[in-house]
Chain A
Amino acid sequence: MSGSDEAIELVLLHNRLTSICREMGVAMMRTAYSPVFNEGFDFICALFDREGEMIAQAEYNPSMLGAANFSVGWMVEELGAEAFAPGDVWIHNDPYRGGCHLPEHLLLKGIFHEGELFGFAATIGHVAEIGGKAVGALAGDVTEVYQEGLRLPPVRLMAGGEHVMDVWKIMMTNHRTPKLTWGDLHAMLGSLRIGEQRVEALLAARGVAATRRDVAELSDRSERWMRREIAAIPDGEYAFEDVMDDDGISAEPRRLRVNVAVRGEELIADFTGTDPQTAGPINATFAVTASGTYNAIFQLTDREVPRNAGCYRPIRVIAPPGTLVNVLHPGAEIGGNSETHCRIVGIVIGALAAALPERVAAGDGATGCNFLFGGVHPETGEFYANYHFENVGWGGARHRDGNDSQCVPLAISRNTPIEVFETRYPFVTVGFRLQPDSGGAGRHRGGLGTERILEVRAPEVTISSLFDRTATGSYGLEGGLPGGCASIEVRRRGEERFRPFTEAFGTVSPAKFSNVTVHAGDQIRIVSSGGGGFGDPRERPLEEVRRDVRDRVLSPQRAAAEYGVEVDELSAGVLSGSPD
């Protein structure tokens, strides 16, 4: 093979493997039952070699992509390659076995060529309802994994192509919405079958030995590329910290800390100094901490580096066991993958602001605004459950404002259309708007969060919540101010105003609680957080401040207080109402 022929062969193989993963994803999205799959893209599809090293992935949920290195590797090492037979599918959702958090189920299927194991097709999907203390799993005040839902160690879901009904029965019995679980798991199984068939065809066409050699070469190339990227970051030690509101059980803030050591072509993110593991559910697993670190580094380096095992190798994570960033069994961990994960990404980026001031951005809104609810649907008489989340504002950067309302960095979820939401759940949406003044002030302002008001239309609905960023806003950089905070509030039927749940229902935490019952006519108001600002707000050009006021994303009061632009200066071009 000449050099350019080899380059063509390798790029073709890489693209073919990636497109197999994409095809797996499309099949999953199109056939799944839960909005979290088919609208939220809360899943991944990837291919692994027989040692459990990732050989390809498609661009789905970043948190699961990073963590799959651990959970797939775990399963292969625990079970041994000989455990996998054609037609078998193994499942596990154990956070203490390399998972991100309990709802995320890994399904792994061996791919065989002429009877010999070549590698694995893997999907991870967020199963929306897994039993436990509260519907939708993300209860804000659980204290151990046993309350969070049904935990499966590696077990066979399918054996020789047949359902292992014993396992299915256990799951169906313990999940509140078994029909959805059944549908979503079958979507995942269909996706695995597509991956398996496509890889089998690929192996038949280009041979097993050549393919093994070439996927190894692809990984080595990615590793070399990532090493060059890290080598381009100035060597040094860069520290950063941030605090989380509370753990849902007691009201104290918790500290996260990182020291990023850049040494030549290797990068170490050392989280020593982070607060101990909490009683409440904001503890992250090691896989979450590693995945969040990868995410931050990928955002700051060349985004075209092919994503396979190689690109992760030069990034090392130190996460002391028994802390917020490396939970020990049986610590509660359900919120670690949404709330703490966001902060891990944020502090690694924040630390590197000193090294890469042109590439970083101020903090994003950094909360999933996880809002869970369920009950018996008044029209169908069936149990329903939903895991709802919100988008947040992103941080301003050296050369631009932050984007408004965008998914948190650990996911790529789309918001569920209101018309889909209302078909399924007994709520009517009263409004869904940008939240004015939520973007942190700066030369380049942070993006805006949103406000959503839902009115209950069933006799009662049981709700739970797991938000953070309700006490401190996302960080600004270089003089930029923090973004607006998130909140969840309630207005009981007939009441005048929205009130925090601490006041209306006596919860310990304003946004981490479970199993509160609301009734027909009650309204829930969810505000998501804004991004931090970048640079001194007083350096923001007057025209941009005026435009923000005209578009009603900035109040005249804030314009005066934070940007130093008084009402009379605003009125020149704005309040006269001239468009554009």
Chain B
Amino acid sequence: MSTAVAGSDRSWVVGIDIGGTFTDVVAFDPGEGAVRAAKAPTTPGNLVEGVIAAVGALELDLEAVAKIVHGSTTATNALLEGTYAPTGFLGTRGFSDEFDIQRMVRRWGETEWSSIYDLHQEKPPPFVPRHRRREVDERVVYPGTVETPLDEEELRARVAELVADGAEALAVCFIWSPANPEHERRAKELVAAAHPELPVSISTEVAPVVREYERMVTTAVNASLMPVMGDYLAAVGRELGERGFAGRLLMMQSHGGVAGPEELVGRPILTLRGGPVGGAVAAAELARSLGRPNVVSFDVGGTSCDTAVVVDYRVPIAEQTEVDYHPIQVATADLLCIGAGGGSIAALDAGGMLAVGPRSTGSTPGPACYARGGEEPTLTDANVVLGRVGGRNLSAGGVTIEAERAEAVIGAFAGEIGRDTAAAAAGIVRVAVATMADSIRLQTIDRGHDPRDFSLLAYGGAGPLHATLVAEACAIPEVIVPLAPGAFSSLGMLVAGQGSYAQAAFLIPLEETTAAEVEGRLAALAAEAERVQAGAELTVRRFAAMRYQLQEWELRVPLPDRIDGEAGLADVAARFHAAHRERYGFAREDQPIELVALFAEAATPAPRLDLGRPEAGGEDPAAAVVERRPVGVGEDGEAEQVPVYERSLLRAGNVLAGPCVIEELTATTYLQPGWSARVDPSGVLLASADGAAR
């Protein structure tokens, strides 16, 4: 990593990833190929502080930065913690009870599987409670005709009631607004005039899709996030600006693309999964460079364990996601997040069983060994007691490890459960590993993927520490540890944050439109997508969502670069038939096709991040040994003297036999007995059981 450069030449790209415990930043200079990383504790309640501290720790002149790509958990945290704004809802007379009625019936049991026979499943409460909902006279009917004009007087009165009742944001969703958004637009104007400070979200600006329930919930969730996201974006923009940043600030969206603050102020919901998605996309890129089509992206930080199953080098994207069963009509990477990380607290549950997480110390006070006031035993403390985590690895976050404190809290907990300290520590790790493995099984075995066909790509501060244990527990034969695993997610922001997307509904039978019309609409969308990434060299890809007439569900199909005349449209139809045949086993060439929506994606090629390849060496890694220390490697934490390697001293071709520990600036890798690892020429560690590297 290079020293500070001051540059009037604005070339650096910075990625920021806010985790539950640390905020990681990575900076990359595409010209020089230089990379630098830094971290600071995450500051819940005011995330901007941690962001600024981490950026400061880069020691980089912000004037030299062209672009900052930022993955934030602001939206998710607000929903999980219930700190979103009390939100009023205004809808068409007769329909606001759909919040209670909902659509997805009887699937609220422990699993989808069990729900069809679950007499006691609890229907989720409405996202907007009844007393915060109001209805007005207005009605548009299909295909867009106004049947009842908007009662503007009533609207003003109802909104005033909601505001008086404490609503701090307002969602408006009228029946059939996708076919005619006029009433919603007018409502927005009227509310803005009467309550200029009140954030208002109208459904046609958030999720212009037919199906009123999904649209109204998406709009309500979006509105509820507007105040918190507005505050956050304003603060981050201001703080960065004050420090000289004049480039482009972009935020990750749930599907791995980026958008700017001007768009996200009104549509914060697009960032819902924008935190963890960066790592998953980076994992898919790394998997491609290693020729491993199937990997489980395994990101363990201080608070959570995020997993994504990459199949054929792709992070699966869903058109819809959910928050507590509330449908969110936004394209989203398919990720699973559980509360298990280094800061997860070990405790005995009501039944006297050892549980680790989901409660976490977060960054403040953090694990006891951070010596910042933490007094509860955490997973990190257990790893410190076992000697798997030493004193060197977390210093970049401004944290030093005090092993005695870990010994003290784990020792006390051991007393509670009647074991010795090492056995208690080993037990905590085993329980956490089982929880993480369960999460991976849900995404592999339960979906019919054989874990034996996968590699576990481990990153985050605590991922590589548990990777061989988790892999063994879920029968995954190989573990991949990238260089700088602690910064991998933020690196992902650089890799992933290259795309931006624009979409618009366009519901018409294919035979009733023309190539020129479709091209015109696509061009407008492409311009919109390109605007987000202004100035960059972009590749535009176009897609259309299509279906057979009378079908309800559409299929997204890539379009050619140019659609010309009748033949061009015929080619589009042929692509749809082919995609339909591939996906569903049949095509209906005799049936008319309907266009539903058009999409454009503008992307710059992902930069190749070279973190410095190791020099070539022999198999023997002895030169990288920095110490030998006792490490608890047995079932009950029985210790052995094991070698500790410094990662930067390893050479390509080195073969490391477990048990051993590999330390580097941002993370520690623990290789359990029976596993060995080889240093790939690219620098990644490839570990497998019984020394049988693939």
Complex CA–CA separation, A428 to B14 (angstroms): 53
User: Once the chains bind, are A391 and B116 in contact (CB under 8 Å)?
Assistant: no
User: Once the chains bind, are A27 and B583 in contact (CB under 8 Å)?
Assistant: yes
B592 CB, min distance to chain A CBs, angstroms: 11
Of all chain B residues, the one with the shortest Cβ separation from A27 is B584
Contacts A404-B100, A417-B211, A420-B552: A8 and B475 contacting too (C-beta < 8 A)?
Answer: yes
Cβ of B608: which chain A residues have Cβ within 8 Å of it? Answer: none
A419 at the interface (CB under 8 A from B): yes
A349 CB, min distance to chain B CBs, angstroms: 8
User: Once the chains bind, are B104 and A414 in contact (CB under 8 Å)?
Assistant: yes
B125 CB, min distance to chain A CBs, angstroms: 10
Contacts A407-B105, A407-B106, A417-B210: A38 and B118 contacting too (C-beta < 8 A)?
Answer: no
User: Once the chains bind, are B119 and A579 in contact (CB under 8 Å)?
Assistant: no
User: Once the chains bind, are A361 and B105 in contact (CB under 8 Å)?
Assistant: no
User: Once the chains bind, are B213 and A29 in contact (CB under 8 Å)?
Assistant: no
User: Once the chains bind, are A428 and B147 in contact (CB under 8 Å)?
Assistant: yes
The 8 Å CB contact of B552, one of A16, A19, A35, A579, is A35
User: Once the chains bind, are B131 and A359 in contact (CB under 8 Å)?
Assistant: no
User: Once the chains bind, are A580 and B131 in contact (CB under 8 Å)?
Assistant: yes
User: Once the chains bind, are B141 and A299 in contact (CB under 8 Å)?
Assistant: no
B110-123 interface bits toward A, Cβ cutoff 8 Å, 1 = contact, 0 = none: 11111111111111
Complex CA–CA separation, A189 to B587 (angstroms): 11
B550 at the interface (CB under 8 A from A): yes
Complex CA–CA separation, A450 to B210 (angstroms): 22
**Interface stretch of the complex, out of A325-333, A430-438, A519-527, A554-562:** A430-438
Of all chain A residues, the one with the shortest Cβ separation from B139 is A428
Which residues of chain B (462-491) have a CB below 8 Å from chain A? Answer: 475
The 8 Å CB contact of B118, one of A30, A32, A303, A405, is A303
Complex CA–CA separation, A370 to B690 (angstroms): 62
Complex CA–CA separation, A551 to B96 (angstroms): 13
User: Once the chains bind, are B166 and A579 in contact (CB under 8 Å)?
Assistant: yes
Contacts A15-B448, A59-B115, A404-B123: A419 and B211 contacting too (C-beta < 8 A)?
Answer: yes
User: Once the chains bind, are B105 and A186 in contact (CB under 8 Å)?
Assistant: no
A530 at the interface (CB under 8 A from B): no
Chain B contact residues: over half helix, strand or loop, or mixed? loop
User: Once the chains bind, are B113 and A59 in contact (CB under 8 Å)?
Assistant: yes
Of all chain A residues, the one with the shortest Cβ separation from B121 is A403
User: Once the chains bind, are A413 and B105 in contact (CB under 8 Å)?
Assistant: yes
The 8 Å CB contact of B141, one of A31, A190, A422, is A422
A337-353 interface bits toward B, Cβ cutoff 8 Å, 1 = contact, 0 = none: 00000000000010000
User: Once the chains bind, are A404 and B584 in contact (CB under 8 Å)?
Assistant: no
Complex CA–CA separation, A391 to B98 (angstroms): 12
A39 at the interface (CB under 8 A from B): yes
Cβ of A359: which chain B residues have Cβ within 8 Å of it? Answer: 119
Contacts A186-B586, A190-B585, A434-B100: A295 and B117 contacting too (C-beta < 8 A)?
Answer: yes
A462 at the interface (CB under 8 A from B): no
Of all chain A residues, the one with the shortest Cβ separation from B101 is A405
Of all chain A residues, the one with the shortest Cβ separation from B475 is A8
B298 at the interface (CB under 8 A from A): no
Of all chain A residues, the one with the shortest Cβ separation from B132 is A579
Cβ of B130: which chain A residues have Cβ within 8 Å of it? Answer: 551-552
User: Once the chains bind, are B120 and A397 in contact (CB under 8 Å)?
Assistant: yes
User: Once the chains bind, are A417 and B213 in contact (CB under 8 Å)?
Assistant: yes
B102 at the interface (CB under 8 A from A): yes
User: Once the chains bind, are B131 and A361 in contact (CB under 8 Å)?
Assistant: no
Cβ of A30: which chain B residues have Cβ within 8 Å of it? Answer: 551, 553, 555, 584
Complex CA–CA separation, A359 to B117 (angstroms): 12
The 8 Å CB contact of A412, one of B97, B116, B165, is B116
User: Once the chains bind, are A400 and B584 in contact (CB under 8 Å)?
Assistant: no
A194 at the interface (CB under 8 A from B): yes
User: Once the chains bind, are B552 and A415 in contact (CB under 8 Å)?
Assistant: no
A472 at the interface (CB under 8 A from B): no
The 8 Å CB contact of B585, one of A27, A32, A453, is A27
B543-573 interface bits toward A, Cβ cutoff 8 Å, 1 = contact, 0 = none: 0000010111101000000000000000000
B107 at the interface (CB under 8 A from A): yes
A385 at the interface (CB under 8 A from B): no
User: Once the chains bind, are A303 and B585 in contact (CB under 8 Å)?
Assistant: no
Contacts A432-B94, A432-B97, A550-B131: A179 and B550 contacting too (C-beta < 8 A)?
Answer: yes
Of all chain A residues, the one with the shortest Cβ separation from B507 is A423
Complex CA–CA separation, A27 to B130 (angstroms): 37
A286 CB, min distance to chain B CBs, angstroms: 21
Cβ of B551: which chain A residues have Cβ within 8 Å of it? Answer: 30-33, 38, 183
User: Once the chains bind, are A415 and B120 in contact (CB under 8 Å)?
Assistant: no
Complex CA–CA separation, A304 to B114 (angstroms): 6
B325 at the interface (CB under 8 A from A): no
The 8 Å CB contact of B142, one of A59, A295, A422, is A422
The count of residues in chain A whose C-beta lies closer than 8 Å to any C-beta of chain B is 77
A74 at the interface (CB under 8 A from B): no
Contacts A19-B447, A30-B553: A418 and B117 contacting too (C-beta < 8 A)?
Answer: no
A301 CB, min distance to chain B CBs, angstroms: 9
Complex CA–CA separation, A404 to B101 (angstroms): 7
User: Once the chains bind, are A419 and B103 in contact (CB under 8 Å)?
Assistant: no
Complex CA–CA separation, A37 to B198 (angstroms): 42
Cβ of A502: which chain B residues have Cβ within 8 Å of it? Answer: none
Cβ of A8: which chain B residues have Cβ within 8 Å of it? Answer: 475
Complex CA–CA separation, A412 to B122 (angstroms): 15
A453-469 interface bits toward B, Cβ cutoff 8 Å, 1 = contact, 0 = none: 10000000000000000
User: Once the chains bind, are A391 and B553 in contact (CB under 8 Å)?
Assistant: no
B661-690 interface bits toward A, Cβ cutoff 8 Å, 1 = contact, 0 = none: 000000000000000000000000000000
User: Once the chains bind, are B446 and A190 in contact (CB under 8 Å)?
Assistant: no
A288-327 interface bits toward B, Cβ cutoff 8 Å, 1 = contact, 0 = none: 0000000100111001100000000000000000000000
Complex CA–CA separation, A572 to B211 (angstroms): 40
Task: From B103, B112, B118, B176, name the one whose CB has the most chain A CB atoms within 10 angstroms.
Answer: B103
Cβ of A32: which chain B residues have Cβ within 8 Å of it? Answer: 551-552
B151 at the interface (CB under 8 A from A): no
B197-238 interface bits toward A, Cβ cutoff 8 Å, 1 = contact, 0 = none: 000000000000011111000000000000000000000000
Cβ of B106: which chain A residues have Cβ within 8 Å of it? Answer: 406-407, 412
Complex CA–CA separation, A440 to B369 (angstroms): 56
A176 CB, min distance to chain B CBs, angstroms: 15
Complex CA–CA separation, A118 to B446 (angstroms): 24
B138 CB, min distance to chain A CBs, angstroms: 13
The 8 Å CB contact of B212, one of A19, A27, A417, A431, is A417
Cβ of B112: which chain A residues have Cβ within 8 Å of it? Answer: 59
A180 at the interface (CB under 8 A from B): yes
Cβ of A418: which chain B residues have Cβ within 8 Å of it? Answer: 95, 175, 212
B129 at the interface (CB under 8 A from A): yes
B445 at the interface (CB under 8 A from A): yes
Cβ of B165: which chain A residues have Cβ within 8 Å of it? Answer: 579
Of all chain B residues, the one with the shortest Cβ separation from A184 is B550
Contacts A189-B586, A190-B586: A551 and B114 contacting too (C-beta < 8 A)?
Answer: no
30 contacts across the A-B interface (CB closer than 8 A): A12-B450, A30-B551, A31-B580, A31-B584, A32-B551, A33-B548, A33-B550, A33-B552, A59-B112, A183-B551, A183-B588, A186-B586, A193-B586, A194-B585, A298-B117, A300-B119, A303-B118, A361-B120, A403-B121, A404-B101, A406-B105, A413-B105, A417-B214, A419-B211, A428-B139, A430-B94, A432-B94, A432-B95, A433-B97, A579-B165
In the A-B complex, the 9 residue pairs with the closest CB atoms: A431-B94, A19-B448, A303-B114, A407-B105, A298-B117, A193-B585, A38-B552, A403-B123, A190-B585
| Chain A residues engaging chain B, CB cutoff 8 angstroms | 8, 11-12, 15-16, 18-20, 23, 27, 29-33, 35, 38-39, 59-60, 62, 179-180, 183, 186-187, 189-191, 193-194, 197, 295, 298-300, 303-304, 349, 359-361, 391, 394, 397, 399-400, 403-407, 412-415, 417-420, 422-423, 428-434, 447, 450, 453, 550-552, 579-580
| Chain B residues engaging chain A, CB cutoff 8 angstroms | 93-95, 97-98, 100-107, 109-123, 129-132, 139, 141-142, 147, 165-166, 175-176, 178, 210-214, 445-448, 450, 475, 548, 550-553, 555, 580, 583-586, 588, 591
Known contacts A183-B588, A423-B142, A429-B94; 6 further A-B pairs (Cβ under 8 A):
A31-B548, A190-B585, A400-B120, A418-B95, A423-B210, A447-B123
